[in-house]
Structure 1
Amino acid sequence: MTPPSDPLTPERILEATEDVLRRYGPAKATVVDVARALGVSHGSVYRHFRTKAALREAVTGRWLTRTELALTEILHASAQPAPAKLRKWLETLFEAKRHKAGDDPELFATYEVLMGESTVIEKHIRELVGQLREMIEEGVTEGQFAVDDPAAAAQAVFDATARFHDPAYAADWQKPAIAAEFTAVTDLLLRGLRA
């Protein structure tokens, strides 16, 4: 094999893995396919990711982290009051999931399979619920939310909006009424949190 012109990095491997998963799907994609796409030996890939499972876990984590970063920006936007911040956060989560499902359906379907076999999804959910808790606590401090247990409220908000971020509901996300349904649920939740 001809050595690649760019150094082999975990990021390059993850990008190639996404392409391979998109092309072959999770059942047929192999580390050898990833190595071939990079023009390296499969041993070179294994130097960065010890197992196929570790590589799949990393690519799933990378995909989820993109959404987390966008949501973290909203969380730390200090100029907005908590209710506006929470609404924007929920909208951003919904739009991120909708775009992933609609813009790249092959890769989205692949990630649905990978998430079923990954432990990073649990970490991702804990991160999202933690961000919700922070916003709710901020709203309590501002006097905007009347919540006795912000952690329980955060979990309730996450669960109540599952239809708008859980991949199991992806087929609903392109329906014409989905935006109005999202707004109705968000409005109801915000009214329920208000002081």
Structure 2
Amino acid sequence: MPPTSETLTAERILEATEEVLRRHGPAKATVVDVARALGVSHGSVYRHFRTKAALREAVTKRWLDRTSERLAGIVDAEDRDPERRLRDWLAALFAAKRHKAGDDPELFATYTVLTDELGGVVHEHIAELTGQLTRIVMAGAGSGDFSVPDPAAAARAVFQATCRFHDPCHAREWTAPGIDEEFTAVVDLLVRGLSSPSR
């Protein structure tokens, strides 16, 4: 049964939008397509999202947030020391990006286009991720595991140094032979660079 204006939620609209984007791609997907998929008028969709751009921004943010939410649990995992948290966080980021690219390539390609169009959403996502990394590095500095004068700068450097393993422009490389060994080598090098000389 199609939703009524009372039961139609922003979340249902975003779910339908994702499916429409998967089917039609960002160039052809319209608000009318989303409304049709939901069995409502396009005016009902516009009551939740005032413009097509706002809808695209919200669905892109939702897609990116899935990754940052998945990683957030690692940041405060007190059963792991900061080095383990850093390694696990970077591995989880790489795995999440590979999962998105490999398991749903059409949607991944669609979101790559949308993130290029929606720079603000991407900058917020990167700020969230580097903020998570900063908290891990700060914990390491506090425990003496890491020797860094500026944890935020160190976190940004770690993020940039590992971009090959999470930036969508490198997605074709993520299934290359030896990529896991290369990832481990980069992370090992970064951990040695952060580690306190006394360790």
Scaled to the shorter chain, the TM-score interval is: over 0.9
| 1:177 match | 178
Looking at structure 2, the residues matched to 193 and 156 of structure 1 have their Cα atoms a distance apart, in angstroms, of 11
Scaled by the length of structure 1, the TM-score of the pair is 0.97
Looking at structure 1, the residues matched to 63 and 76 of structure 2 have their Cα atoms a distance apart, in angstroms, of 21
| 1:46 match | 46
Instruction: Report the Cα offset of residue 4 of structure 1.
Output: 2.5
Superposed, which structure 2 residues align to 1:16-165 within 5 Å? Answer: 16-118=16-118, 119-165=120-166
- Which blocks of at least 5 consecutive residues in structure 2 are unaligned? none
Q: Residue by residue, what CA displacement relative to the aligned partner does 1:39-84 show, whole Å, maximum 9, x if unpaired?
A: 0000000000000000000000000111111110000111110000
Write the letter of the residue equivalent to 2:169.
A
State the identity %. Answer: 66
Instruction: Please state if 1:4 is matched with 2:34.
Output: no
Q: Residue by residue, what CA displacement relative to the aligned partner does 1:62-110 show, whole Å, maximum 9, x if unpaired?
A: 0011111111000011111000000000000000000000000000000
* SS of residue in 2 equivalent to 1:72: helix
Query: How many residues get paired?
Result: 194
| 1:191 match | 192
- Which blocks of at least 5 consecutive residues in structure 1 are unaligned? none
* SS of residue in 1 equivalent to 2:21: helix
Write the letter of the residue equivalent to 2:185.
A
* SS of residue in 2 equivalent to 1:79: coil
Looking at structure 2, the residues matched to 184 and 10 of structure 1 have their Cα atoms a distance apart, in angstroms, of 43
Q: Is the 8 A contact 2:2 2:38 kept in 1?
A: no
* SS of residue in 2 equivalent to 1:168: helix
* SS of residue in 1 equivalent to 2:26: coil
Looking at structure 2, the residues matched to 76 and 9 of structure 1 have their Cα atoms a distance apart, in angstroms, of 32
Scaled by the length of structure 2, the TM-score of the pair is 0.95
Runs of 4+ in 1 over 4 A off after TM superposition: none
Looking at structure 2, the residues matched to 3 and 77 of structure 1 have their Cα atoms a distance apart, in angstroms, of 42
Write the letter of the residue equivalent to 2:31.
V
